A and B are shown apart, each in its own frame.
Chain A
Amino acid sequence: MKLTLDPQYEAFRAEVSETLAKNAHLAPTSEDKGYKNAKRIAWQKLLIGSGLAARTIPKEYGGYGAEPDILKSRIIAEEFARTRIPGPMAGQGISMFVPTLLELGTEAQKQAYIRPTIEGEMIWCQGYSEPGAGSDLAAVRTSAVEDGDHYVINGSKIWTSTAKQADMMFCLVRTDPNAKKHEGITYITFPMSTPGIEVRPLVDMTGSANFNEVFFTDVRVPKSGVIFAPNKGWQVANATLTHERGMLGDPNATKARLLELIALMKTETVNGQRLIDNPVLRDRLMKLQAEVYAMQANGLRITTSRLQGQPAGLAGLVVKLQGCDLNHEIARLAIDALGELGILYEEGEHLRSDGAWQWRYMYDLGLIIGGGTAQIQKNIIAERGLDMPREPKLAKA
Chain B
Amino acid sequence: MEFALSEDQRMLQDSLKGVLSEAAHLDRIRKIAAGETGEGAALDAALSEFGLSALMVPEAAGGLGLGALDACLVQEALGYDVAPSRFLATAVAAKLLGGKVDILGNIAGGEAKFALALTELFSRRDGAGVELKGGKLTGKSLLAQSVDGATHILVADTAGAVHSVEAAKASVTVMQTIDRTRTFHEVSLDGVAPLVSVTPDAGAIAFARLLVAADTLGAGQAMIDKAVAYAKERQQFGRVIGSFQAVKHMCAEMAAKLEPARALIWHAAHALDIGDAEGPMMASLAKAHLAEVGTFVARTATEVHGGMGFTDLVGLHYWYKRIGVNRQLLGSPEQAREAAAQLQGLVV
Contacts and interface: CB of A to CB of B under 8 A. Distances in A.
Given A1-B69, A382-B251, A392-B243, A287 B337 contact: yes
A277 B337 contact: no
B2 A1 contact: yes
Residue of A71, A276, A378, A387 with most partner-chain B CB within 10 A: A378
Given A298-B260, A318-B256, A388 B267 contact: no
B282 A304 contact: no
A307 B1 contact: yes
Nearest to A282: B341
Given A2-B1, A298-B259, A283 B334 contact: yes
B348 A303 contact: no
A297 B248 contact: no
A353 interface: no
A352 B296 CA distance: 35
B338 A290 contact: no
A379 B289 contact: no
Contacts, number: 153
Nearest to A391: B245
Nearest to B289: A290
B240 A389 contact: yes
A290 B228 contact: no
A14 to B, nearest CB: 16
A187 B268 CA distance: 45
Contact of B263 (A2, A276, A315, A382): A315
A289 B266 CA distance: 16
Interface stretch (B3-11, B16-24, B120-128, B195-203): B3-11
B255 A297 contact: no
A394 interface: no
A290 B337 contact: yes
A301 B4 contact: yes
B153 interface: no
B46 interface: no
A303 B263 contact: no
Interface in A264-290: 266, 276-277, 279, 282-283, 285-287, 289-290
Contact of A375 (B249, B267, B338): B249
Nearest to B293: A294
Contacts of B3: 1, 3, 297, 300-301, 303-304
B1 A315 contact: no
Name the residue in B232, B285, B334 with the highest tally of chain A Cβ atoms < 10 Å from its Cβ. B285
A286 B288 contact: yes
A277 B253 CA distance: 33
A169 interface: no
Interface in A1-34: 1-5, 9
A378 B255 CA distance: 10
A277 B348 contact: yes
B285 A1 contact: no
Nearest to B339: A286
A314 interface: yes
B347 interface: yes
B242 interface: yes
Of A3, A277, A322, A377, most B-chain CB atoms within 10 Å: A3
Most B-side CB within 10 Å, residue of A5, A282, A381, A385: A381
A293 B282 contact: yes
B261 interface: yes
B186 interface: no
Contacts of B337: 282-283, 286-287, 290
B276 to A, nearest CB: 8
Nearest to B292: A287
A295 B256 CA distance: 11
A170 B251 CA distance: 36
Contact of B6 (A1, A285, A291): A1
Interface in B254-296: 255-257, 259-261, 263-264, 266-268, 270, 273-274, 282, 285-286, 288-289, 292
B264 A388 contact: no
Given A1-B4, A381-B256, A388-B228, A297 B266 contact: yes
B60 interface: no
B255 A386 contact: yes
Contacts of B259: 298, 314-315, 318
B231 interface: yes
Given A301-B4, A381-B255, A385-B252, A1 B263 contact: no
A297 B1 contact: no
B267 A297 contact: yes
B346 interface: yes
A301 B3 CA distance: 5
B340 A289 contact: yes
B253 A378 contact: yes
A307 B337 CA distance: 34
Contacts of B228: 386-388
A2 B170 CA distance: 44
A388 B4 CA distance: 26
Contacts of A377: 252
B252 A381 contact: yes
Interface string A346-375: 000000000000000000000000000001
> Which 7 pairs of residues, A with B, have the shortest CB-CB distance?
A297-B263, A286-B337, A382-B248, A300-B3, A297-B267, A290-B289, A378-B252
Given A277-B348, A285-B346, A294-B260, 10 more contacts: A4-B1, A71-B1, A286-B340, A296-B267, A298-B264, A303-B3, A318-B259, A381-B256, A389-B232, A389-B243
Interface of A: 1-5, 9, 71, 262, 266, 276-277, 279, 282-283, 285-287, 289-291, 293-298, 300-301, 303-305, 307-308, 314-315, 318, 321-322, 375, 377-379, 381-383, 385-389, 391-392
Interface of B: 1-6, 9, 69, 228, 231-232, 240, 242-243, 245, 248-249, 251-253, 255-257, 259-261, 263-264, 266-268, 270, 273-274, 282, 285-286, 288-289, 292, 334, 337-338, 340-341, 346-348
20 contacts: A1-B69, A3-B274, A276-B346, A277-B348, A286-B285, A287-B292, A287-B337, A290-B264, A290-B288, A290-B337, A293-B282, A294-B260, A294-B261, A301-B3, A301-B4, A304-B3, A307-B1, A308-B4, A322-B257, A386-B248
